[in-house]
Chains A and B, each alone.
Chain A
Amino acid sequence: MGKVAELPKPPEGKKVKRTAKEKLLSSDLWAARIESLWKEPDGSYWLRCRWYTIPEETATGRQPHNLRRELYHFFEANNEGDDVFYCEYEYDIHWHSFKRLAEIDDSEENSRRGRVFGLQRIGTKRIPEHVRSHKQTELERAKAMLLLATLPKSLPFSIYDDQCLGLFLYIHVVPVNGKTMSVLSVMRNLRSEVDAGTMRPYCFIEINGLKLATPENIYKVIYEALSGHRVGWKKALHYLNERFSEGIKVGKQANQPCVLLIDELDLLLTRNQSVLYNVLDWPTRSHSKLVIIGIANTMDLPEKLLPRISSRMGIQRLCFGPYNYQQLQEIILTRLEGSGAFEEQAIEFASRKVAAMSGDARRALEICRRAAELADYRLKQLPPTTKMTNNDNSARKCLIGMADVESAIQEVSQAPHIRIMKTGSRLSKILLVSMVHELYKSGLSEITFDKLAATVSSLCSSNREAIPGWDTLLKVSCKLGECRIILCEEATKHKLQKLQLNFPSDVAFALKDCPEIPWLSKYL
């Protein structure tokens, strides 16, 4: 960068021995990552690998933002090794462009993209012991497995795909039900089939309707993915029409079938539904070789569309309905394969509860995870002497039982306002109870501030409490109003301010058995 670097010269007669790292950085050595090794039937060994390149070898050369030991990867980003090199982008030779990792390429459990290495060595002394110990107890392993980010080893349910003839498959799914995971795992399988050579290579484009600024931008995204050029949406539409409707193909990869995965399909609905019409029209043409998989939440999206679009949609539907309790149980058990931390009944209880409400897999996993955390915390509270005989205890006490699951469910489903009411100040409880009392007495849900103050005074005086002044009362009611436990008008109205309970039925439940103010239950 303007300065001439003087490398130290080796002493006379001696050769400079360079480490492999230095050779790599001076492009005398190339690094590759071995993806798979296999033996062919004829006895020869083959390996499949991905090459790395240093910034000097790309079209743009080394840029100021390149790190000292940064590498680029051809076509597929890698996961970094142990603090050696940092790779974040994939470099496409055809288009001389850099792209970040696509999520589908992640074959490892946790994406380590963006993590800076060496940081965990800092402050080792200050990390408390039970966190620093590396041996994961059963519970911790169970916790880790239940993390939503980790992908299970196998998915109990699967779908299949079609090829080469244009096709539209509509998947509709109850929200948060594992559709993205399933579809991506299927795409991974297809990709591995292509890699193994049993299927022709295809081009895969993933689009999310939420991520598009406007529905018309979908043309831009598809065109960019197919050709690497960025153009406006009108031009992109024109080129895509040429490619799919008229079969004019440009570029080397033009003859590959193309698989388009559109998530959140219902967001592509415009007023005249032209975007959906165009996109769904393409598979119906000959020579288009386009397969579209659309995912949405609503079951009757095809019926909501114009008849000419739903006619082109075809009838291939796949329904991911809500799970029943057996399926949820199976999902949790699959995730926990190899970990005996949960009692069987606890899992069944959790899955039944969740199945009764929504059949949502994420909920079930969250509850189990929270139960594991609670059990873990409970165990760690025990005095350290009982932890000495490790194996013995892990067999007996590490089981997560019904009690933990129940408290987890309580936590998850209990609304926060009840907790706030329970832990509020003394005066706020009195205020809420007096509002309920007034509600029962007069039948009106709204009450003015002066009436409320009168009620509070009478309540307090009959129970030998100190009567609060109006200013404190006002402050307390404003605080409650901010939390939206009561709804109140603006405070400038002073004593004419109207107040209303937001959760009238829950006040009784929350404040019934208050230990500090036992006389409250009289009025509820």
Chain B
Amino acid sequence: MKRKFDTLSASPKLPGITMSPSRSLRERSPDPQKPIWNPRDPGQMHAVMEALHVSSIPDNVVCREDEQKRIADFCKSCIKEKKSGSMYVCGLPGTGKTLSINKVEELLVLWSKEVGFQTPETLSINCVSLPKASDLFSKMIEKFHPHLKNNACSPLQNLQKLYSQKGQPSPGNMMIIIVDEVNHLITKGQVVLLDLFMLLTLPYSRCILIGIANAINLLDRFLPILEPLNCKPTVVTFCAYSKDQILKIIQQRLGVLGYDIFEPIALEFCARKVAAASGDMRRALSVCRSAIEVFEAELRLATNKEDLNIVRFEHMEIALSRAFKTVTVHTIQSLPQHQQIILCSLVKFFRRDKKNATTLGELHRSYSETCKDMHIPPYGWFEFPDMCSALSDQGLLNIGRSKELRNKRVTLQIDSSDIRFALKEIRFFNKAVTD
């Protein structure tokens, strides 16, 4: 039983394809001195995909220098004064919070070595991976004070005792605790979160606590008590990326490769769209990767050895339309006929009765009537709920919960004008939709 497999690097390479001088102006790379990207080379393609992957972390995180500086300064001051402090970092998903803080942590380690302070120890936890919120304390004990692990008291009590006494045998290192997704620590009564912040008020604690979450007003909502106690953490907000920032980040990632992958217009279009939608960097990177895949698909179908060696605007457009797809007219038009009739009858019913919700039983009646008008035999009550649930799976309807099947509440999730627009092309539905 012998098996042999190639590693990626040993795959056969096709000879590089060079540009012919008769290319159109738009497609020529702006810098003729730059090496040309060979998309048919799997090694190069893999390098590009890796550069655009969410998990590959660049060496310096651009566009977040201000925020990183603020966090770093705060931590440095805490380390210098040997006092504990807390900080709360918030922002939308995909805005680089965890990434920046990890970079800051590395920076701090280097800085403390330079300046001569004791290197701070770091503990980085993602609260979603904790089975129980109070496991956070046991993790803290495990990392920082392993000698207290098998004590009789609970971890929280151990920590409280430790930080209230003077002169412990443990070294005077500062401890940086990075708590990701703090909102998962919110339990009934917010006991865990409160205890965590209160630990820092104890006289001999030396922790710098950095909490990361999405909600800006998390602390105000759940821990208003911190303000009068004077231990309200500093808040740093990571705003959503703007179009220029997204562009800069992608260019920095691709810059290491040395050749042009995307047309400048394509990248700008992507950055503009993503910034307008959410400002989420992960989405921007996914869209870029998806554009490369569209380009690859075209490459595979290209029969002549035409030099396609740059991802163009059209590819990016296709990728973006796929990413930001909504229930379009096209989906409605590709539904089976009877499901379209159901949508039609729903629109008619709502318009006639000036309501926006109905029950399944009523809808079935309306559907049967519409079918009879169109001279199509309607489906009976047994198939009807299945068709409606197929529509709700597509996101077109919403079916409520009720014990009796006939009384389930049905509401329309999309605009009725979409349905009208989609179905008016079909002559069959013209009459049903327009009156």
A residues lining the B interface (CB < 8 Å) = 46, 48-49, 164-166, 174-175, 194-195, 197-201, 233-234, 237-238, 241, 245, 272, 274, 277-278, 281, 283-288, 297-300, 303, 307-308, 311-312, 314-317, 321-322, 324, 355-359, 413-415, 503, 505-506
Contact = CB atoms under 8 A, between A and B. Distances in A.
A356 B338 contact: yes
B386 A358 contact: yes
Given A48-B1, A165-B50, A300-B395, 17 more contacts: A174-B390, A195-B3, A197-B6, A241-B129, A272-B184, A274-B184, A286-B57, A287-B55, A299-B394, A299-B395, A308-B181, A308-B214, A311-B94, A321-B331, A357-B379, A358-B383, A413-B383
B318 interface: no
Interface string B295-338: 00000000000000000000000000011010100010011111
A234 B387 contact: no
B380 interface: yes
Contact of B322 (A197, A303, A317, A359): A317
Given A272-B184, A308-B93, A311-B283, A278 B128 contact: yes
Nearest to A358: B336
Contacts of A356: 336-338
A311 B282 contact: yes
Nearest to B57: A286
Contact of A200 (B7, B335, B386): B7
B95 to A, nearest CB: 10
11 contacts: A48-B1, A245-B129, A274-B128, A283-B55, A287-B55, A299-B395, A300-B395, A311-B94, A314-B282, A413-B380, A414-B380
Given A311-B93, A316-B286, A237 B129 contact: yes
Contacts of A503: 381
A312 B381 CA distance: 41
A201 B2 CA distance: 13
B72 interface: no
Contacts of B283: 311, 315
B128 A314 contact: no
A357 B282 contact: no
Contacts of A355: 336-337
A298 B129 contact: no
Contacts of B327: 299-300
A415 B381 contact: yes
A356 B387 CA distance: 11
Interface string B50-61: 100111110000
A451 B323 CA distance: 64
B286 A315 contact: yes
B184 A286 contact: no
Given A48-B1, A415-B380, A284 B131 contact: no
B36 interface: no
Interface string B375-386: 000011111001
Nearest to B125: A241
A40 to B, nearest CB: 10
B280 interface: yes
B78 interface: no
B141 interface: no
B101 interface: no
B266 interface: no
B322 A315 contact: yes
B287 interface: yes
Contacts of A322: 334-336, 390
Contacts of A281: 126, 128
B290 interface: yes
B49 interface: yes
Contacts of B382: 415
A283 to B, nearest CB: 8
The 8 closest A-B pairs by CB, nearest first: A308-B93, A311-B93, A300-B395, A286-B55, A315-B323, A356-B337, A234-B131, A315-B286
Nearest to B213: A308
Contacts of A175: 390, 393
Interface in B116-135: 126, 128-129, 131
Contact of A284 (B55, B335, B337, B381): B55
A149 B395 CA distance: 31
Contact of A199 (B5, B46, B287): B5
A311 B325 CA distance: 15
Nearest to A232: B131
Residue of B57, B327, B381 ringed by the most chain A CB atoms within 10 A: B381
Contact of A312 (B92, B126, B282): B282
A195 B4 CA distance: 9
Nearest to A412: B383
B366 to A, nearest CB: 14
Nearest to A285: B55
Given A288-B55, A300-B395, A311-B282, A194 B129 contact: no
Contacts of A286: 55-57
A311 B287 CA distance: 12
A357 B94 CA distance: 42
B334 A324 contact: yes
A311 B94 CA distance: 7
A238 B278 CA distance: 32
Given A165-B53, A199-B5, A284-B54, A316 B282 contact: no
B55 A197 contact: no
Contacts of B214: 307-308
Interface string B385-407: 01100100111000000000000
Nearest to B341: A356
A333 B226 CA distance: 71
Interface in B123-161: 126, 128-129, 131
Contacts of B184: 272, 274
Given A197-B3, A286-B56, A358 B387 contact: yes
A247 to B, nearest CB: 11
B389 to A, nearest CB: 8
A357 B322 contact: no
A390 B336 CA distance: 42
A300 B50 CA distance: 28
A197 B4 contact: yes
A286 B99 CA distance: 12
A299 B338 contact: no
Nearest to A416: B382
Contacts of B49: 165
A495 B5 CA distance: 83
Contacts of B395: 298-300, 303
B332 to A, nearest CB: 12
Interface in B245-286: 278, 280, 282-283, 286
Contacts of A49: 1
Interface in B317-363: 322-323, 325, 327, 331, 334-339
A316 B2 contact: no
Contacts of B379: 357, 413
Nearest to A272: B184
Nearest to B131: A234
Contacts of B46: 164
B422 to A, nearest CB: 15
B398 to A, nearest CB: 11
A506 B382 CA distance: 12
A355 B387 CA distance: 12
Contacts of A315: 283, 286-287, 290, 322-323
Residue of A165, A316, A355 ringed by the most chain B CB atoms within 10 A: A165
A415 B382 CA distance: 7
Interface string B179-196: 001001000000000000
